[in-house]
Structure 1
Amino acid sequence: MKPLHLSPLHLAHFTAASCIGRGQAEMLEALRTRRSGLRHCDFDDVDLDTWIGAVEGVDEVAMRADVRDYDCRNNRLLQMALELDGFRQAVEASIARHGTRRVGVFLGTSTSGILETEHAYRRRDPGTGALPPDFRYRQTHSTFSAAEFARACLGLAGPAFVVSSACSSSAKAFASARRMMAAGLIDAAIVGGVDSLCLTTLYGFNSLGLTSAQPCRPYAADRSGISIGEAAALVLLEAAPPSLDADAVLVTGIGESSDAHHMSSPHPEGAGARLAMEQALRDAGLRPDQIDYINLHGTATPSNDASEGKAVAGLFGAGTPCSSTKGATGHTLGAAGGLEAVISALALRHGFMPGGVNTAQVDPALRLDYLLANRDQPLRHVLSNSFGFGGTNCSLVLSRAN
């Protein structure tokens, strides 16, 4: 079914914190110099031979006194991002224009603050097994915690919810916000996502045989699995004003699909992935040959890259430049869609396509123009893919306004 065509939305402000940097300038420098933020796992007491993308300084973030009940690694990472690149000030200006009830919050996450629960289980009462009295599930582990925390931090009173659809979560948050704006319920939205390192994902993905003992190598002939990262990515979405700066970025197309092929394995031919990309293109009113660059989901597992590669080749052929940035950032799970939307916006604004990091030889079976080095080139339209467990897929088209 053809999706309802809605007006493009303006990325009025955006920022992110990941293992390659905090804020636009640090992230741009890392992408330009092809610097990876991955390191051998030294998180908590994890005993796994794998690599992670940890954000520096999260443990040192001081939670504001009025939101201290929300203290957990996930919300500390989110608070860090709120203070980057003048994002809080941009939201305050939006509130001044629209009011506290007309600015929504739509975030994606996969595990939220589950690390707090993991730590709480270590402190159970030895006799009764009761969790410690200072453990606060609603403010920390609850999936809604991030949105509730953001509302409290920013003094908002509008609609808010969290999307938890595995690795497509924070891409789908854009779709949720746009529907609310199209319905006339809000005038602006904070969208994106946050996911932080925890034991559940590290041991869980390891038990599935999906983690690599080396830094991940998306689309490589010798790829062997993911490197789990963490990130917080935030975008302030508003209706596009009549006149825009030359470097303004818009969300012009969104496509969603659910192929429900398997709980943890992608459709072998990428059927749902292709459907999401096709819908995003139709929504943007674009042909495949009008996309200048594709930011691939590219997790570096053998099955995922093969599935996405077939879908991309089938729709775009072998001529559209593409790459995965997860070799630099790791797979940030529920935050990946938001983080890679920010990376795509930086690519559009600065006129370059980031080459895939860590990959030395592209899998010859995947017939794509996969970039192994950065390419400087003016860009008009970028497609960003986010595909999750259970076949939940989302593709975003981001475009320069001029």
Structure 2
Amino acid sequence: MTSPPRPPHTHPVSPLHLSHFTATSCIGTGLDDTLSALREQRGGLAPCRFADVRLDTWIGEVPGVDDVALPPALAGFECRNNRLALLALEQDAFADRVREAVARYGADRIGVFLGTSTAGVLQTELAYRQRDPQTGALPAGFSYAGTHSPYSLPGFVRAYFGLKGPAAAVSSACSSGAKVFASARRLMEAGLIDAAVVGGVDSLCHTTLYGFGSLELLSDQPCRPFDADRNGISIGEAAAFVLVERAPEPAPEGAILLLGIGESSDAHHMSSPHPEGLGARMAMEQALASAGVAPAQVGYVNLHGTATRANDTAEARAIHALLPGTPCSSTKGATGHTLGAAGALEAVICALALRHGLLPGGINTTQVDPALTVDYRLASRDQPLRHVLSNAFGFGGSNCSLLLGRATGGQ
């Protein structure tokens, strides 16, 4: 195997405190539902019945999204993606915790950095069906900026909380919801903000479903990450949010900390990863180095694990080279691949794993591919964890790894 270039020497950086977090996906609305689904190995995938889509595939649809009503003052943001965002924001008292942070720091000292791949493109799809038959003009009420634009999501969240600090959308395919943590950390280290709302939201739409269908990447059954007979992905939707602040010193017992971040770019192919997983390995190495954590200290890896032949093979090679024997699994068998939200959703799953001492097993997989030489866990089990790594690797080789840890007396 070709050895990747060594990452630049990285000094450990100050950790960030994941002071509050929440997640909503097809396995649950809020943390309690999500945790119980992981413990019970209960998936949320079902045959595709979304809108008028006719594809032989399974999806992870969040119930109740169409029943969510945005505040009248924010009607310009009306779309499925922002309704899903609001549904998630109102779980686990997360919105209350953000408002408390505003009172502590001031509205101009809290940033918003959110990942998405398609934002509210569904709203544009619906608008095109309502074009004027003579002129082709879109409906007068259609707002590209408020719905379809990637910035629609952070713009909505910023407006919902009345925040005035820096805000940005990250749209780097499937690494988006992880890379936002790096955006927040950079601005906090620069002294421009004191806290940030980070996360990711992606919702179902025709473009995503038919797009991945045209690439022949959709499975005709619930996806089976790392399975010998894996044959493609299951698309899901999700919203996950984290309030990150500077970690107190010493961090209180049990605090969930973001210890390290690694980012890399394969620059290998438009859609396929480097076959040896070199960019993935570099991202993981950088995350560990920036945290000052040795590979042997990692107790669990939440794999990107999309269940495609190429992606799982490349990631397995990177894991085998850097973290041989480390327990790992992909939770996409339960949630589906939530695209731009995946990095944030799985970071929250890792935070739950740390908080509750749970090593989540990968569901749907029955026969782990013997060519993938990793310690892939099929059954969830209780196990105290100190450090976990969460991988998010996107189209075109945009890679991000997050190293999270649980404080134990004095850290």
TM-score (norm 1): 0.99
**Distance in 2 between the 1:229 and 1:100 partners?**
33
Runs of 4+ in 1 over 4 A off after TM superposition: none
312, 337, 342: which is aligned to 2:343? 337
One-letter identity of the residue aligned with 1:359: T
1:192 aligns with 2:192: no
> In the alignment, what sits opposite 1:224?
231
Q: Deviations over 1:21-56 (max 9, x none)?
A: 011100000000000000000001001000000111
131, 139, 143: which is aligned to 1:136? 143
Q: Tell me the SS of whatever aligns to 1:74.
A: helix
**Distance in 1 between the 2:209 and 2:10 partners?**
37
One-letter identity of the residue aligned with 1:112: A
Q: Deviations over 1:99-133 (max 9, x none)?
A: 00000000000000000000111111111111111
259, 284, 306: which is aligned to 1:299? 306
2:11–2:289 Cα contact (<8 Å) kept:
no
Distance 1:252 1:326, change over 3 A: same
Distance 1:4 1:130, change over 3 A: farther
1:260–1:390 Cα contact (<8 Å) kept:
yes
**Distance in 2 between the 1:125 and 1:62 partners?**
27
One-letter identity of the residue aligned with 2:37: A
1:168 aligns with 2:160: no
Long gaps (5+) in structure 1: none
**Distance in 2 between the 1:322 and 1:273 partners?**
15
2:265–2:398 Cα contact (<8 Å) kept:
yes
**Superposition RMSD on alpha carbons, in Å?**
0.8
> In the alignment, what sits opposite 1:399?
405
Per the TM alignment, residue 2 of structure 1 is displaced from its structure 2 partner at its CA by 3.0
Q: Tell me the SS of whatever aligns to 1:314.
A: helix
1:346 aligns with 2:352: yes
| Count of residue pairs brought into register by the alignment | 401
Alignment map for 1:205-216 (pairs within 5 Å): 205-216=212-223
> In the alignment, what sits opposite 1:290?
297
1:166–1:334 Cα contact (<8 Å) kept:
yes
Q: Tell me the SS of whatever aligns to 2:188.
A: helix
**Distance in 1 between the 2:23 and 2:34 partners?**
8
Per the TM alignment, residue 352 of structure 1 is displaced from its structure 2 partner at its CA by 1.2
One-letter identity of the residue aligned with 1:316: L
Long gaps (5+) in structure 2: 1-7
358, 364, 374: which is aligned to 1:358? 364
Per the TM alignment, residue 289 of structure 1 is displaced from its structure 2 partner at its CA by 0.7
Q: Tell me the SS of whatever aligns to 1:140.
A: helix
Q: Deviations over 1:212-239 (max 9, x none)?
A: 0000000000000000000000000000
> In the alignment, what sits opposite 2:27?
20
> In the alignment, what sits opposite 2:102?
95
1:105–1:191 Cα contact (<8 Å) kept:
yes
1:373 aligns with 2:379: yes
2:112–2:196 Cα contact (<8 Å) kept:
yes
Q: Tell me the SS of whatever aligns to 2:144.
A: coil
> In the alignment, what sits opposite 2:240?
233
Per the TM alignment, residue 387 of structure 1 is displaced from its structure 2 partner at its CA by 0.1
> In the alignment, what sits opposite 1:389?
395
1:70 aligns with 2:105: no
146, 149, 152: which is aligned to 1:145? 152
